[in-house]
């Protein structure tokens, strides 16, 4: 039988008749939602009024709608559950667009509920009117405009189902104010049946058999793990596959933590700022099996160069649109990574490995690893940003949730903080959105209040959503912020160093605030860290302060760049390991 409105909600208008606003709140409860991230406005006030009567759901009042969507996104990344944001019409929707696009590019399940002007004002340039469906069409998995209150319950049920199933993604539900105020019987569906949407999870048996045969014949196999393996919850199966094949495991930026970063078979992150051993293992393998990875340009470099190697490519992905999108795939398997891997593992006995070939393959990999591509010059006088991430890993024992903004600090965190568990590394990959770090941490801390949640950021990124320090104060979200302050837009500066002859156009931040004092102005703890000997004590002090937000403004060496680096348009083997390589290229 279909579910009906709870007694708590029903008393507002009669037995099973509710306003549209109370339908929204009742639907949230039935989906198990206890937290909504939002910002009120005229059109959405009916829902906020209904929330007053529903103490089981907390609306976290952010200070900007972009942060609402980022926080819902961070909550979803850390938990695997659907995050929910609530915004008003017009600028509320347009402020949310960046957060929606960020979730879309990284396949994160969120539902964004937007209010709009009344239906009779649609298309008439009404105050704070916005074509929400049109504006968000290209950056959502699905969106809906609810023109009648009778459609609302079914639309909300579909929204949560679509967001979480198949390849996850953001779903936007746009509801005019008059629909929120209208009343109708409320019946919430238990199931959803969509003829045009049936995600395939099992994988084709013949294709799985072909993959098994290719892996059994492989002499130099390489496993490429992406974000789809995290969404699938496939960490156990990935570990079994790695043991069965005795193969190196390269983890994309979005896949870090699926396979333990401290394991000897992990070769780290491949791609633009990947390790030497990961890039060469990918390029020199004879069989690559990609698990929920879409061969992004930042992962494989130039596609023609990547495909020039004579190898067999196996790609497992639940979204058929990602297969053959950038590289030719020899064995495509459409299905859920975890489910497909279970079937594949049943066909892969360990004794099938060619031991002598595998030993030779590992000798090559260890040779590449011996280059120590992440080595950097230590200093007793200035703080090296890499050193900060190494100390953060030591102090947290590698067990923190690390939420990153976007830039050099993001790459250093990915390189130097070894993630041994999935869903501990929370960052924007596909869109590369500055400003996500603090809202992400808010979402994670709300989900796991007892955990250590650390935002790694930069002096540029943190200023994009720094107002959320106020939200942290109001709701007791005691995150720790480690800002690597080099006085520049660091990644912009590095690209100008590599591609523009060190012509630094608008990358210098010459009017920075006193971040420690600013944090104190918001009611938090602010500390400035200026010497290498201060780093570890400051980190320990910050993490020991339970119940307090601590902002560490760490003044780092502005001359440091992220190495290795594969330049745009280059192949994975054409890597700059240091600035000296760039200088040699310039001479030649």
- CB under 8 Å to 89, separation ≥6 — which residues? 41, 42, 43, 44, 114, 115, 116, 117, 128, 129, 130, 132, 177
Helix, strand, coil proportions of the chain in percent (round to 5)? 45, 20, 40
- CB under 8 Å to 340, separation ≥6 — which residues? 202, 203, 208, 316, 333
Active-site position among 31, 65, 235, 560: 65
What gap in Å lies between CA 84 and CA 71, rounded to an integer? 9
What gap in Å lies between CA 180 and CA 47, rounded to an integer? 7
What gap in Å lies between CA 237 and CA 233, rounded to an integer? 9
Bridge partners for 174 per DSSP: 114, 145
CB 301 within 8 A of CB 570: yes
Bridge partners for 555 per DSSP: 485
3-state SS of 314-334 is EEEECCHHHCCCCCCCCEEEE
Count CB atoms within 10 A of the CB of residue 520: 14
Helix (H, G, I), strand (E, B) or coil at 512: coil
| Residue closest to 62 by CA, chosen among 562, 409, 499, 440 | 440
What gap in Å lies between CA 71 and CA 98, rounded to an integer? 12
Strands 312-317 and 287-291: parallel
Tokens of 406: 């976007």
575 assigned to active site: no
Active-site position among 141, 157, 158, 177: 177
Active-site position among 30, 411, 434, 491: 491
Is there a cis peptide before residue 239, judged by omega within 30 degrees of 0?
no
Tokens of 233: 């919850």
127 assigned to active site: yes
Strand ranges in 450-544 using DSSP code E only, listed in sequence order: 453-458, 480-485, 525-529
128 assigned to active site: yes
Active-site position among 3, 128, 265, 467: 128
What gap in Å lies between CA 323 and CA 306, rounded to an integer? 16
CB 47 within 8 A of CB 23: no
Tokens of 315: 């790609």
CB 502 within 8 A of CB 496: yes
What gap in Å lies between CA 294 and CA 16, rounded to an integer? 46
| Residue closest to 222 by CA, chosen among 353, 292, 314, 303 | 314
Strands 331-334 and 312-317: parallel
What gap in Å lies between CA 271 and CA 410, rounded to an integer? 14
530 assigned to active site: no
Active-site position among 127, 236, 366, 583: 127
Angle at 76 between CA 28 and CA 193, to 5 degrees: 55
421 assigned to active site: no
Catalytic residues: 65, 127-128, 177, 491
């Amino acid at each position: 039988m279909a579910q009906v409105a709870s007694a708590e909600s029903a008393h507002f208008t009669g037995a099973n008749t509710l306003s549209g606003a109370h339908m929204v709140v009742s639907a949230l409860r039935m989906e198990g939602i206890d937290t909504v991230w939002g910002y009120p406005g005229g059109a959405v006030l009916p829902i906020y009024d209904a929330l007053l009567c529903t103490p089981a759901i907390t609306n976290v009042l952010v200070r900007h709608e972009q942060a609402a969507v980022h926080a819902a996104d961070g909550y979803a990344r850390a938990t695997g559950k659907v995050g929910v944001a609530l915004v008003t019409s017009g600028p509320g929707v347009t402020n949310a667009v960046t957060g929606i696009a960020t979730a879309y590019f990284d396949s994160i399940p969120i539902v964004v509920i937007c209010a709009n002007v009344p239906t009779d004002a649609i298309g008439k340039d009404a105050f704070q009117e916005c074509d929400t469906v049109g504006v968000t069409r290209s950056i959502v998995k699905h969106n809906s405009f609810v023109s009648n209150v009778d459609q609302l319950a079914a639309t909300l049920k579909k929204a949560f189902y679509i967001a979480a199933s198949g390849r996850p993604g953001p779903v936007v539900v746009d509801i005019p104010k008059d629909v929120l105020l209208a009343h109708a019987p409320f019946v919430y569906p238990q199931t959803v049946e969509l003829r045009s949407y049936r995600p395939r999870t099992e994988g084709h048996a013949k294709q799985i058999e072909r993959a098994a045969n290719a892996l059994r014949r492989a002499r130099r196999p390489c496993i490429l793990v992406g974000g789809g393996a995290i969404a699938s919850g496939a960490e156990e199966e990935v570990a079994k596959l790695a043991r069965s094949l005795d193969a190196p495991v390269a983890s994309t930026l979005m896949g870090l933590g699926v396979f333990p970063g401290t394991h000897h078979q992990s070769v780290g992150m491949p791609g633009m700022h990947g390790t030497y051993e990961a890039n060469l293992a990918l390029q020199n393998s004879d069989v690559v099996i990609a698990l929920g990875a879409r061969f992004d340009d930042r992962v494989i470099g130039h596609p023609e160069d990547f495909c020039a190697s004579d190898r067999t490519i196996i790609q497992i992905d639940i979204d058929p649109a990602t297969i053959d999108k950038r590289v030719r795939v020899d064995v495509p398997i459409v299905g859920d990574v975890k489910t497909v891997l279970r079937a594949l593992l049943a066909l892969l006995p360990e004794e099938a490995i060619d031991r002598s070939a595998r030993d030779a393959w590992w000798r090559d990999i260890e040779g590449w690893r011996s280059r120590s591509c992440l080595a950097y010059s230590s200093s007793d006088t200035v703080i090296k940003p890499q050193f900060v991430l190494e100390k953060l890993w030591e102090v947290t024992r590698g067990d923190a949730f690390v939420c990153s903004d976007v830039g050099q600090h993001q790459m250093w965190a990915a390189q130097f903080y070894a993630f041994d568990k999935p869903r501990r590394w929370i960052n924007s990959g596909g869109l590369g959105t500055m400003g996500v770090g603090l809202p992400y941490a808010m979402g994670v801390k709300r989900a796991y209040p007892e955990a250590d949640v650390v935002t790694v950021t930069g002096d540029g990124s943190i200023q994009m959503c720094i107002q959320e320090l106020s939200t942290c104060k109001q709701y007791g979200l005691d995150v720790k912020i480690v800002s690597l302050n080099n006085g520049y837009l660091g990644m912009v500066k590095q690209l100008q160093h590599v591609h523009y002859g060190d012509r630094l156009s608008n990358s210098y931040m010459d009017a920075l605030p006193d971040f420690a004092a600013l944090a104190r102005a918001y009611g938090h703890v602010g500390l400035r860290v200026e010497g290498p000997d201060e780093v570890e004590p400051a980190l320990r002090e910050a993490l020991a302060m339970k119940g307090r937000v601590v902002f560490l403004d760490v003044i780092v060496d502005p001359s440091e760049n992220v190495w290795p680096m594969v330049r745009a348009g280059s192949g994975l083997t054409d890597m700059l390991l240091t600035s000296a390589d760039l200088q040699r290229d310039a001479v030649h």
